[in-house]
Structure 1
Amino acid sequence: AGKKGSAIENFSCVIYDVSLMNCTWQAGRNAPGDTQYFLYWKNSRDDNETECELYIKGENGMHTGCRFQNVMIEGKTTYFLVDGISSDSQIQFYDEYIELCEIERLTPPLNVSVNCTVNPAGCTITWQKPRASYEKPEHCFTYEINIQNKVKTISWADICKGCIYFSVNTNKYEFENYNVKKKYILKIRARGNSCTINKSWGEWSKPIEFGKPMEYIYIFILLQCLQTFL
């Protein structure tokens, strides 16, 4: 029932920062101008439907989304219903079942660290799996490593020349192309490899600088000179 084309369109939800979720939508193409939408959701058939507590509002105060807090992901298939009202006509409803684990945007890997040696030249990069609202085994993740040569540029888009990307299924990587005369910038992100985890790439970790720039050579020479005079 309801006016054709009045139901919401482009409904999508994303979970981020472990337990926060945003759902957004657009007004139906044929919805009257005074239409107002309301979102209801429940985690099982036996639960009562709960209305959104914090709406995102667009033009004219129309609800165009909802923000959720303290979302629990594990094993949850959630039912969403968006209904509407208008003084002009009845509004069609929209509903959808969503596996919450499939819409989680993974947080960055934790405790990223780099340990480099000069002889032999190389670096060991280690990290831990992303934060989660429930325990996820290590084998469930794939990681992408981005290593860039740091150069003196203006914008982040120009920071790297010859970016290097690696994908690994462990939480350790041996960077063998390390040049002791260069400085590098490292970022890591994760996605689901198996299990019930989103297969899209998550958020990048904060950039970490490692390696020795050219001043390393000058410091070495200065130390040699000081030893000569002592």
Structure 2
Amino acid sequence: MCWEVAESACKHEKHYVFHRNRFKNTGALSKLQLPMPSLAISMEPTFLITFEPPRNLQIIDPGLLGHLYIEWQPPPSLLTLDQCTIKYKLKYRSTGDADWKVVFTKKLKYGDGFDLSKRTEAKVQTLLEGHCTNESEVKSDWTHTTFQLPSQGKAQIRDFHCVYYNWEHLTCTWQLGQLAPPGARYELYYWYEGLDHAVQCSDYIQTHGRNTGCNLQNLRQAEYIDFNVCVNGSSESTQLRPSYFTFRLQNLVKPSPPEKLSVSISAYEEIHVAWSPPAGGTPPHCLDYEVQLTEHDGDADAPWTVCDAHGC
């Protein structure tokens, strides 16, 4: 007896069928197929794709007071690639930030607000997924870049503070820098998305003839988006360092006090306090109220008790 192997092949797999030869009394040779299982080997295609990271990564300052654009171009090897989705993973931060901000995008440009007094760094990689990668996500290496304005002196302003009064007008104030020379002059510029360029304050608050604050009106279009401010200084004797700030107006609102306050005592000696919402543009659903009561009996220093929904 002997064994013979018969082979049949298809595109990605081979089947092996074993036969045994048997000699009969007549001397004739015949083949008898035994009921043995076939051995099947499946060969899936392997995708091994490598490509370069995005190129020409740069951080651009368009002069919008800290609103920078991060731009890049796709790797050349992917320009003619189809049947795949190309995305980018962008990470960026400023000096002193503990964590990276992460963005996934199909675009080649992204903008955000930064403190221009700090160093900014960004990195981006390409993400490829689809039929060309057998539906697996393939990542390129990272490409990096940094951005920082040249040093511009040390006499910055101090104690910069802004309040959005009654959801109607913004007032920003500051103190002069400790190293500011006597003739130093400060100016405030602001920008938000929708403006073509940075705009200078037109209503300054002055202390002893020098600008120490600014009033801004008609900022409804700037609500719920980043509001960028730069207070820049100039002097004939020395270079002054600008200060940059980014905030959102709705986080700085200080409403007016409630109106039409009334207090009454019922026959059961229950105190009833009523009032009307303050005038102005603050949405009513954004307001919370705190009620305090005191019994001073002529004592102006008597303590106040804070009341809530459960009583005082």
TM bracket, shorter-chain basis: 0.5 to 0.7
Q: Distance in 1 between matches of 2:250 and 2:279?
A: 14
Q: How many residues align?
A: 162
Please list every run of at least 4 consecutive aligned residues from structure 1 whose deviation after the TM superposition is greater than 6 angstroms: none
- CA shift, 1:162, in A, is 4.4
**Letter of the 1:166 counterpart:** C
Aligned residues of 1:18 and 1:131 also touching (Cα < 8 A): no
Q: Find the aligned partners of 1:100 and 1:134 in 2 and give their Cα distance.
A: 12
User: What is residue 151 of structure 1 aligned with on the other side?
Assistant: 297
Q: 1:188-227, aligned counterparts within 5 Å?
A: none
Q: State the match for 2:308 in structure 1.
A: 167
1:67-87: per-residue Cα shift (whole Å, max 9, x none)?
223443742431111111111
Per-residue CA deviations over 1:36-70 (Å, capped at 9, x if unaligned) read 111011222644221111112223x2211112234
User: How do 1:1-230 and structure 2 match up within 5 A?
Assistant: 1=150, 3-44=152-193, 46-59=195-208, 61-72=209-220, 74-118=223-267, 120-137=268-285, 140-152=286-298, 158-159=299-300, 161-168=302-309
Which structure's relative contact order is higher, taking Cα pairs within 8 Å and 6+ residues apart? Answer: 1
Q: Is the 8 A contact 2:167 2:282 kept in 1?
A: no
Residue segments in structure 2 that go unaligned for 5+ positions in a row: 1-149
Structure with greater strand percent: 2
Q: Considering only CA atoms, is the larger Rg found in Structure 1 or Structure 2?
A: 2
Letter of the 1:82 counterpart: V
User: Counterpart of 1:53 in 2: which secondary structure?
Assistant: coil
CA deviation after TM superposition for structure 1 residue 3, in Å: 4.8
Which is richer in helix? 1
Judged with a 3 Å threshold, the aligned counterparts in structure 2 of structure 1 residues 151 and 71 are, in CA distance, closer, same or farther, namely farther
Alpha-carbon distance in 1 for matches of 2:254, 2:293: 22
Shift of 1:116: 2.8
Is the Cα contact below 8 Å between 1:149 and 1:160 reproduced in 2?
Answer: no
Q: Distance in 1 between the 2:239 and 2:186 partners?
A: 12
* 2:167 and 2:250 in contact (8 A); partners too: no
C-alpha separation between the residues in 1 aligned to 2:279 and 2:292?
Answer: 20
> Counterpart amino acid of 1:10?
D
Identify the range of structure 1 (84-93 vs 109-118) with the bigger mean alpha-carbon deviation.
109-118
Q: Structure 2 vs 1, CA of residues 141 and 37 (structure 1 numbering), >3 Å: closer, same or farther?
A: same
